[in-house]
Structure 1
Amino acid sequence: MAQPDRREHDASLLERLAGWVLLLEGWRRVVLTIAAGALCTFALPPYNFPAVGFVGFPLLVWLLDGVVVDPGRSLIRRMAPAFVTGWLFGFGYFVAGLWWLGAAMLVDAAAFAVFIPLAVLGLPAILAIYYGLAAALARLVWSDSALRIFALAGAFALFEYLRAILFTGFPWNEIGVMAAPAPLLMQTSSLIGVHGLTLLAVIVFSSPAILIDRRGRGPVLVVAAALLTFHLGFGLWRLQTHPTEFVENVRLRVVQPNIEQSQKWAVNQAETIFERHISLTEARNDTAAIPGATIALSPDTTAPTTGAMSPPPQTLVVWPESSFPFLLTERPDAIARIAETLQPNETLIAGAARIEGPDIETSRVYNSVYVIDDEGEIVAARDKTHLVPFGEYLPFQEFLEGFGLTQLAEMPGGFSAGAARAKVSLDGAPSFLPLICYEIIFPGEIDVGTAETRPGFLVNDTNDAWYGATPGPYQHLRLAELTSVAVGLPLVRSANTGISVVNDAYGRQIGGLALGSTGTIEVGLPRAGAATLFARFGSLPFWLAFLVTWMAAVVSRLRMRARID
């Protein structure tokens, strides 16, 4: 008899907690809602503690249960309390998850420190509108059934999708990321993408809220448990049945120079920065060559693994975004130095500013990737197509410059967007798709589902030095890893100050360098996986799952109305 009494006691505690949350008013309700959103950020990198989702989302469900709606008012007025609840939750989530954006304003504090409140509070306030609209939409089909968490999941997934595409898109820290703290839990993204993970995450995280429900609790809890079991089981199966394999005769040398952002474009540091890249490239497994540098070796450097050869005839050297503190095409001496450094069958993939026109003041400047062969010839170039607003260019430039605003990048007029994204073919190695900086957080824009467009691996060259030792670089890495797993391609990531990694197509790290360290990663090139469901069909599987979820919520709402009528 002790066990039933214990269950009843636990249910009673949960009911009392839910009742207390439902009846909250005024500032206490505001504080709890913001805190619930902020708590959820501990599921994100670098904390990676998804259990907080089982607290934050049940609180949100109960807070929405407690929304008072006057049926005599207009639709907008009826939805306003739910919107405010969702907005407060989102404001807490985005402030706690994006506060590190303020660090970028301190690189040139004299010019940009005044804008810290806009970055730390203004942007979260805008992004929170998506969550406010999601809560309002969910409340529109809310019911007294446990299926109301399907309404919440569908609404959040829909507005996370919209957040990724509207106004150039900003899908940073989507709720689905909370459900993917490790490779085991990333694999579901290969089926339904990160938007689908959001759908799954909200259902699973919200499930404790319905433990006290009387109507429809059992089936919904079974669905939530089944989703969690599938999420874990599919990840385990995929990792166990797809061991890491390497491309024969190809190796990688990923350089992490660790240049502080305050020095990155200093004229008097240009040669020092360039020579650091050169020295790290020349080190080649010699840990004593660069004082304080780290050489991260893969297992196949010292022992045979699938497809590995020693020494390999082809080496790909990868430098980070904006590696050159000058325009490379105006420095034939630098190109000659690169040719001198690269050994036969070594190819350099490096981030660089590329100019079209007579001078930097009147020409188009692109944030690009150069491919340079061992004779110093630039054999390919690709331009960044998805630029960072306010970072690489200033929207409504003439208008906003009148208020003293400029983009963070030290480039007259900002960068121009490239015309198209395309893979780069290499001699003696698989092709690759360059994704510069935060281009990699937009998996929906990456066309890699057909034989014609599919490369052998992804190259993400980036510079996260703007954000220092904050959660920002860890979050950026996680988003890159999720894109890699979603499309089933290895990730080769060179980040100026970190975090540089080489991952296989399933998110397993082959080699990496810590944030703030200097060094190189010497590893084999992992082999590409088969085109995933997401790579082939994009968001279609997500939309099918969304429709099923949303229809279940709508039917529950209609049944409730029928009972009332």
Structure 2
Amino acid sequence: MKALSGWLEGRRGWATAFAAGLLSAAGFEPIGWWPLTIAAFAILAELLLRTPSLKGAAALGWFFGLGQFLLGLNWIATAFSYQDAMPAWLGWVGVVLLSIYLAAYPALAALGAKWAGRDKTPALIFALAGAWAIGEFLRGTLFTGFAWNPVAVALVDMGSFKLVPWVGTYGLSVVAVLIAGICWLVARRTYLFAFLILAFIGTLGILPSPRLLPPGNTVQLTIVQPNIDQADKWRPGFDSVAAERLLTLSNAGKDDGPRIILWPEAAVTDPLEDERTRAAGAVAFERARAVRALGDDDVLITGGIALQSADGIGVGGATNSIFALSPDGRITGRYDKSHLVPYGEYLPMRALLEPIGLSRLAPGAFDFSAGPGPENLDIPGIGLVGMQICYEIIFPGAVIDRDARPRFLFNPSNDAWFGSFGPPQHLAQARLRAAEEAIPIIRATPTGISAVIDARGQILDSLPWREAGIIDSELPWVGAPTLFSRLGNWLSMAFALLLFMTGVALRRLAR
């Protein structure tokens, strides 16, 4: 009977952890109920305190992570509805399988927190805060990494951006768990440590914001959001419709001086660069069509595709690229996406998976090739502009060339795949990158959310999801280099490790 009672208690705990994980994801965009995220981590801390074993702690962390990822990543399933080669229901299978894998990192964090804190309440919450951030770093790094939705994103609208330049995104995740710890400790009437954590966070809050550096010249931006649905984007013959829509919107922008016109990822679906000899005429046509809206001193920066050929005849590969085009259609700079999306831009184990009917989600029979990493384009009249295509912007500490700090980051994206959940989550993570590096980020997407983000992570202007339009804006000021921009994730991990070791020390002192 005692064994049966323990068996039921374990499963009740797992169900509670799973529900708490679902609750935690409600703090992410587009729901944005951040107090639920805080409450969820307080529940997780209580569950970890009550479980007697390290194995039980790992199980609780895994079920918590499973709930969080199932809700937070539901947008991935939407992508499969645009792929004729695979059934749409397979998208939900993909979400479940990915969540099962990703939940291993919360399991590891919960295991580490229980090992360090045991049954000592203050020790446990410090260890959990540090271990959670370390787990997020590992999730964003191992096996190409998947850094989507760190818990820090739940705090993006809480005035937390002052902390990000000093501790980074993973450091802000530490703070999020500590805030949950305050609530948990108060509920347990451990008021002294709750007050000490509150004082610690308050001290971080008085750190100064990065100093903004006045530019040498004013730069006028026109950001174009054409509201082109993914179902239409690659439809035969739709390229001319898309071109006219992009042209009309680009012409609607201010024309009172040199402009930079910014189009989304793969706004031009036919190649803008092609190494095949017979493709020269088609490439010239696409470039000429793209630059029709440009004045004499304007620059177009657009997403597009470059095709590679070893022999000048067949296609040997492709790159997902950003092109800078002059008014006469010349390419003045090109950036190739480096951090490619598995199953989206390349199919892992293609020889094994393709014969059983699996394919990558983006159209095409061959995989994209990866570029060398963060690079700048030197744009006349502006200087260095950093480039990060779509998914690349979610990786803390890996978005700029640290030897050549750019004036702003351009983040064209194609969020048309990802329903109503993906775009606002993507935007929230771009805001964290802006605050970490103190560099403005300009986003252009086909269906939204396009935005101008300043060097402190604040949205200055944006276009809603599923609405065509433009943003006319002056380029925001860049900030002075931050502590994070100098040290990167070493800074965040040092902060997380300090909190984890504080938990170990508190447990030993209590013993």
The two structures share one fold, judged by TM-score above 0.5: yes
C-alpha deviation, 1:243, in angstroms:
7.2
User: Secondary structure of the residue that 1:341 maps to in structure 2?
Assistant: coil
Instruction: Confirm whether residue 85 of structure 1 aligns to residue 35 of structure 2.
Output: no
User: Secondary structure of the residue that 1:402 maps to in structure 2?
Assistant: helix
User: Secondary structure of the residue that 2:302 maps to in structure 1?
Assistant: strand
C-alpha deviation, 1:447, in angstroms:
3.9
Alpha-carbon distance in 1 for matches of 2:500, 2:283: 58
**Match for 2:156 among 165, 169, 180?**
180
Residue identity matched to 1:173 = N
Q: Is the alpha carbon distance of 1:244 and 1:24 closer, same or farther for their aligned partners in structure 2, counting shifts above 3 Å?
A: farther
Provide the residue aligned with 1:302 in structure 2.
none
User: Secondary structure of the residue that 1:25 maps to in structure 2?
Assistant: helix
**Match for 1:467 among 418, 430, 433?**
418
Q: Is the alpha carbon distance of 1:359 and 1:96 closer, same or farther for their aligned partners in structure 2, counting shifts above 3 Å?
A: farther
In structure 1, stretches of 5+ residues that fail to align are 1-21, 70-78, 286-309
Residue identity matched to 1:492 = I
Contact 2:411–2:443 (Cα < 8 Å) also in 1: yes
Provide the residue aligned with 2:279 in structure 1.
none
Contact 1:157–1:199 (Cα < 8 Å) also in 2: yes
1:33-72 residue CA offsets vs partner (Å, 9 max, x unmatched): 1111111112111222221133111111111112123xxx
Provide the residue aligned with 1:35 in structure 2.
19
Q: Is the alpha carbon distance of 1:60 and 1:359 closer, same or farther for their aligned partners in structure 2, counting shifts above 3 Å?
A: farther
C-alpha deviation, 1:121, in angstroms:
1.2
Contact 1:203–1:224 (Cα < 8 Å) also in 2: yes
Provide the residue aligned with 1:170 in structure 2.
146
1:389-441 residue CA offsets vs partner (Å, 9 max, x unmatched): 11110111112223221110112222111123311111111321110011011
Normalized against structure 2, the TM-score is what?
0.92
Provide the residue aligned with 2:487 in structure 1.
537
Provide the aligned C-alpha RMSD in A. 2.2
Provide the residue aligned with 1:3 in structure 2.
none
C-alpha deviation, 1:501, in angstroms:
0.6
Residue identity matched to 1:49 = W
**Match for 1:251 among 220, 231, 250?**
220
Provide the residue aligned with 2:284 in structure 1.
332
Contact 1:247–1:524 (Cα < 8 Å) also in 2: no
Alpha-carbon distance in 2 for matches of 1:23, 1:187: 46
User: Secondary structure of the residue that 1:38 maps to in structure 2?
Assistant: helix
Alpha-carbon distance in 2 for matches of 1:63, 1:416: 45
Contact 1:461–1:494 (Cα < 8 Å) also in 2: yes
Q: Give the length in aligned residue pairs.
A: 496
Provide the residue aligned with 1:526 in structure 2.
476
Deviates more, 1:488-497 or 1:138-147: 138-147
Q: Is the alpha carbon distance of 1:181 and 1:244 closer, same or farther for their aligned partners in structure 2, counting shifts above 3 Å?
A: farther
Residue identity matched to 2:91 = I
Residue identity matched to 1:37 = G
Residue identity matched to 2:498 = V
Residue identity matched to 1:458 = L
1:268-323 residue CA offsets vs partner (Å, 9 max, x unmatched): 211111221112111225xxxxxxxxxxxxxxxxxxxxxxxx933x2100000001
**Match for 1:60 among 33, 36, 44?**
44
Alpha-carbon distance in 1 for matches of 2:289, 2:21: 52
Provide the residue aligned with 1:283 in structure 2.
252
User: Secondary structure of the residue that 1:379 maps to in structure 2?
Assistant: strand
Contact 2:123–2:506 (Cα < 8 Å) also in 1: yes
Deviates more, 1:511-520 or 1:29-38: 29-38
C-alpha deviation, 1:146, in angstroms:
1.6
**Match for 2:267 among 323, 333, 356?**
323
Contact 1:63–1:85 (Cα < 8 Å) also in 2: yes
Provide the residue aligned with 2:438 in structure 1.
488
Deviates more, 1:33-42 or 1:117-126: 117-126
C-alpha deviation, 1:29, in angstroms:
2.5
Q: How does 1:498-537 map to 2 (within 5 A)?
A: 498-537=448-487
Contact 1:138–1:151 (Cα < 8 Å) also in 2: yes
Alpha-carbon distance in 2 for matches of 1:326, 1:524: 30
Contact 1:247–1:527 (Cα < 8 Å) also in 2: no
Q: Is the alpha carbon distance of 1:101 and 1:175 closer, same or farther for their aligned partners in structure 2, counting shifts above 3 Å?
A: same
C-alpha deviation, 1:23, in angstroms:
11
1:492-551 residue CA offsets vs partner (Å, 9 max, x unmatched): 110111000112111222221111010111111112110111111112322332232122
Residue identity matched to 2:126 = F
Alpha-carbon distance in 1 for matches of 2:187, 2:477: 49
**Match for 1:102 among 73, 77, 91?**
77
**Match for 1:381 among 334, 356, 360?**
334
Alpha-carbon distance in 1 for matches of 2:369, 2:124: 45
Alpha-carbon distance in 1 for matches of 2:198, 2:422: 32
Residue identity matched to 2:217 = E
C-alpha deviation, 1:179, in angstroms:
2.3
Instruction: Confirm whether residue 154 of structure 1 aligns to residue 138 of structure 2.
Output: no
Residue identity matched to 1:66 = R
Contact 2:247–2:292 (Cα < 8 Å) also in 1: no
C-alpha deviation, 1:360, in angstroms:
9.1
C-alpha deviation, 1:354, in angstroms:
0.7
Q: How does 1:231-270 map to 2 (within 5 A)?
A: 232-234=205-207, 238=209, 248-270=217-239
Residue identity matched to 1:205 = A
Residue identity matched to 1:222 = F
Normalized against structure 1, the TM-score is what?
0.83
Q: Is the alpha carbon distance of 1:162 and 1:361 closer, same or farther for their aligned partners in structure 2, counting shifts above 3 Å?
A: farther
C-alpha deviation, 1:376, in angstroms:
1.3
User: Secondary structure of the residue that 2:228 maps to in structure 1?
Assistant: coil
Larger Rg: 1
Instruction: Confirm whether residue 454 of structure 1 aligns to residue 405 of structure 2.
Output: yes
Contact 2:155–2:176 (Cα < 8 Å) also in 1: yes
Residue identity matched to 1:55 = A
Identity %: 33
Provide the residue aligned with 2:296 in structure 1.
344
Residue identity matched to 2:194 = L
Contact 2:376–2:401 (Cα < 8 Å) also in 1: no
Provide the residue aligned with 2:256 in structure 1.
311
Q: Is the alpha carbon distance of 1:444 and 1:259 closer, same or farther for their aligned partners in structure 2, counting shifts above 3 Å?
A: same
**Match for 1:111 among 81, 86, 89?**
86
In structure 2, stretches of 5+ residues that fail to align are 1-5, 274-281
Contact 1:200–1:227 (Cα < 8 Å) also in 2: no
Contact 2:74–2:95 (Cα < 8 Å) also in 1: yes
Alpha-carbon distance in 1 for matches of 2:14, 2:99: 16
Contact 1:505–1:526 (Cα < 8 Å) also in 2: yes
Q: Is the alpha carbon distance of 1:232 and 1:351 closer, same or farther for their aligned partners in structure 2, counting shifts above 3 Å?
A: same
Alpha-carbon distance in 2 for matches of 1:227, 1:404: 54
